[in-house]
DNA sequence: TCCAAATATCTAGCGCTGCTAGGAACACGA
DNA sequence: TCGTGTTCCTAGCAGCGCTAGATATTTGGA
């Protein structure tokens, strides 16, 4: 009984190891450097072991992405709690979102670009995802007026993601990043 | 003299053929189906010929993307000219942008996801790119009030791109797409 | 204690990718 | 008609995600 428990524990440990090594490798050298061979080498197991834990490489990326959503949600939560002014809270959460994307580009990539197959706007979506969206919902509630809170949260999310995505792809010049963010927020606030 | 001209003409034709075949293949089966082998087979030349025209596969994708920017700019121009009301023009251009992304997902992908290396917010950027951004600039001018027109155009672009990007990745549920767009525009209009 | 069954893991390889070196085939000017 | 220079193709490299089949390793029963 206990012996099987140990093995399951070790298996779970190894699974976590795979995910964290994948994340480290991606954050250090980008996702194009994360190959199943390199990953296997770093966790000191052979390639097929990866496939006994995950259906494929995408599933590993997805696991890293879920970690990312949890981190992002935590960052936004802290930002929202840093002030009692609704306006400041909005600005703080938005800034936290942008900062997260800038500090963890590979993670952000996994969350929004690499991945297509994560369940999102459904009940089966990972908790971290709901938590993150909840932060946006809370922070826009004071400025929603007659508009639907969920909808406004989604629009804010779109605006933030658009800014991040276009800026990072070189579509928008970096320098005015903060002015753009301020303009977006002031307009969305009504 | 004329004989060399003919050869250059044929070479240019072949280059256009490569780009249009790449585009067709991508639009029909997605970019993951666009491999150098398949592409070479469809243009009825061997693989290395591609590399005598383009530095690599990315350069071919970039050429397709530039076509995409030209098409998008044309669509937005037509939309803007369809009405004299600034409000309606804004709505029409935004709708045209969204429609383009929905009707040409592979093209949009090349323009915003596949590609990293196209020069953008610089004078060397392809004309089609400047033209597209110009449409956005024109259409937000009436609603800019005291804010910088360029900045507001960039924010609108971010919002639209965010909506498209999140919706297509399954991050936002499809059904409310139009309500989200309407909310974004009404808030940005001030 | 020893052996068979089950489990865990590895070696080797498949078909694919983007890309390129080197040689064959061609059209050209003299 | 004959070198010459260009154009183009055949063949191959190293790497990718993924998997079948063989090999260790551990387990439980006689």
Rounded CA–C1' distance between A51 and C6, in angstroms: 20
Decide which of A38, A54, A70 is a domain's last residue.
A54
Q: Give the best residue of A58, A171, A181, A182 to mutate against chain B (max B CB count within 10 A).
A: A171
Q: What's the confidence (pLDDT) of residue A6?
A: 73
A-chain CB neighbours of B32 within 8 Å are none
Q: Which pLDDT band, with edges at 50, 70 and 90, does B8 fall under?
A: confident
**From B113, B119, B159, residue closest to A158, measured CB to CB:** B159
Helix axes A127-140, A86-103, angle to 10 degrees: 140
The two three-digit tokens of residue A93, written as one number: 């959460």
Decide which of B36, B54, B72 is a domain's last residue.
B54
Cα B21 to Cα A2, B7, B34, B50, B77: the distances in Å are 62, 21, 10, 12, 26
CB contact under 8 A, B151 and A176: yes
For residue A2, what is the domain's CATH number? 1.10.10
Q: What is the dihedral of CA B95, B96, B97, B103, to 10 degrees?
A: 110
Q: From CA A163, how far away is CA B35, in angstroms rounded? A: 31
CB atoms within 10 A of CB B59: 15
Q: What's the confidence (pLDDT) of residue B10?
A: 86
Residue A35, CB, strand C, below 7 Å: no
If asked whether residues B98 and B168 sit together in one domain, one would say yes
Compute the nearest-CA separation of B76 from chain A (Å): 18
Q: Give the best residue of A187, A188, A189, A190 to mutate against chain B (max B CB count within 10 A).
A: A187
Q: Which pLDDT band, with edges at 50, 70 and 90, does B124 fall under?
A: confident
The two three-digit tokens of residue B118, written as one number: 């196209």
B167-180, pLDDT tens digit by residue?
Answer: 999 899 889 999 99
DSSP three-state, residue A163: helix
Q: From CA B66, how far away is CA A162, in angstroms rounded? A: 20
Number of domains in chain A: 2
CB contact under 8 A, A147 and B116: no
A-chain CB neighbours of B172 within 8 Å are 120-121, 154, 157-158
If asked whether residues B14 and B106 sit together in one domain, one would say no
**Minimal Cα distance from B171: which residue of A?**
A120
Classify each residue of B65-102 as buried b or exposed e, where b means 16 or more C-beta atoms within 10 Å of its C-beta.
bbbbbbbbbbbbbebbeeeeebeebbbbbbbbbbebbe
If asked whether residues A17 and A70 sit together in one domain, one would say no
If asked whether residues A77 and A170 sit together in one domain, one would say yes
Q: What is the DSSP letter of B37?
A: H
If asked whether residues A15 and A34 sit together in one domain, one would say yes
Q: What's the confidence (pLDDT) of residue B86?
A: 96
Rounded CA–C1' distance between A7 and D30, in angstroms: 27
Chain C nucleotides near the protein (CB, 7 A): 8-13, 16-22, 28-29
Residue B150 belongs to a domain:
yes
If asked whether residues B44 and B89 sit together in one domain, one would say no
The whole domain housing B48 covers 1-54
Classify each residue of B124-133 as buried b or exposed e, where b means 16 or more C-beta atoms within 10 Å of its C-beta.
ebbebbebbb
The answer to whether B151 and B137 have CB atoms below 8 angstroms apart is: no
Q: How many CB pairs under 8 A join A and B?
A: 122
CB contact under 8 A, B154 and A180: yes
If asked whether residues A66 and A47 sit together in one domain, one would say no
CB contact under 8 A, A165 and B170: no
Rounded CA–C1' distance between B107 and C25, in angstroms: 38
Q: What's the confidence (pLDDT) of residue A3?
A: 67
If asked whether residues A74 and A121 sit together in one domain, one would say yes
If asked whether residues A15 and A74 sit together in one domain, one would say no
Average pLDDT of every residue of chain B: 94
Whole-prediction pTM? 0.94
A-chain CB neighbours of B187 within 8 Å are 152, 155, 187-188, 190
Residue B59 belongs to a domain:
no
Q: What is the DSSP letter of B142?
A: G
Q: What is the DSSP letter of A171?
A: S
Q: What's the confidence (pLDDT) of residue A119?
A: 81
Compute the nearest-CA separation of B3 from chain A (Å): 42
The answer to whether B115 and B65 have CB atoms below 8 angstroms apart is: yes
Q: Give the best residue of A133, A150, A153, A154 to mutate against chain B (max B CB count within 10 A).
A: A154
Q: From CA B16, how far away is CA B54, in angstroms rounded? A: 11
For residue A105, what is the domain's CATH number? 1.10.357.10
Compute the nearest-CA separation of A1 from chain B (Å): 42
pLDDT per residue, tens digit, chain A (190 aa), is 466 777 778 899 999 999 999 999 999 999 999 999 999 999 999 999 999 999 999 999 999 999 999 999 999 999 999 999 999 999 999 999 999 999 999 999 999 988 777 888 888 899 999 999 999 999 999 999 999 999 999 999 999 999 999 999 989 988 999 999 999 999 999 8
Helix axes B86-103, B127-140, angle to 10 degrees: 140
Nucleotide nearest to B54 (CA to C1'): C19
A-chain CB neighbours of B188 within 8 Å are 187-188
If asked whether residues A33 and A85 sit together in one domain, one would say no
In degrees rounded to 5, what are phi and psi of residue A125? -60, 145
B65-89, pLDDT tens digit by residue?
Answer: 999 999 999 999 999 999 999 999 9
Q: With residue A156 as reference, give the H or E element that holds it.
A: helix A149-168
Rounded CA–C1' distance between B45 and C9, in angstroms: 46
The contacts of residue A129 (CB under 8 Å, 6+ apart) are A66, A69, A118, A120
If asked whether residues A115 and A154 sit together in one domain, one would say yes
Q: From CA A117, how far away is CA A94, in angstroms rounded? A: 26
């Amino acid at each position: 009984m206990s012996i099987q428990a140990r093995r399951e524990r070790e298996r779970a440990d190894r699974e976590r190891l795979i995910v964290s090594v994948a994340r480290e490798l991606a954050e250090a050298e980008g996702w194009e450097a994360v190959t199943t061979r390199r990953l296997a080498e770093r966790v000191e197991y052979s390639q097929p072991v990866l496939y006994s834990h995950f259906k494929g490489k995408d599933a590993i990326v997805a696991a890293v992405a879920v970690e990312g959503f949890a981190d992002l949600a935590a960052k936004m939560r802290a930002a929202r709690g840093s002030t009692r002014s609704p306006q400041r809270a909005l600005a703080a959460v938005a800034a936290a979102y942008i900062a997260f994307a800038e500090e963890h580009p590979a993670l952000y990539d996994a969350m929004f670009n690499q991945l297509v197959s994560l369940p999102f706007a459904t009940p089966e979506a990972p908790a971290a995802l709901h938590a993150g969206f909840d932060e946006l919902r809370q922070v826009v509630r004071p400025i929603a007026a007659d508009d639907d809170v969920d909808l406004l949260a989604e629009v804010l999310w779109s605006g933030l993601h658009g800014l991040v995505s276009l800026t990072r792809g070189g579509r928008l010049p970096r320098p005015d990043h903060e002015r753009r963010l301020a303009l977006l927020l002031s307009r969305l606030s009504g």
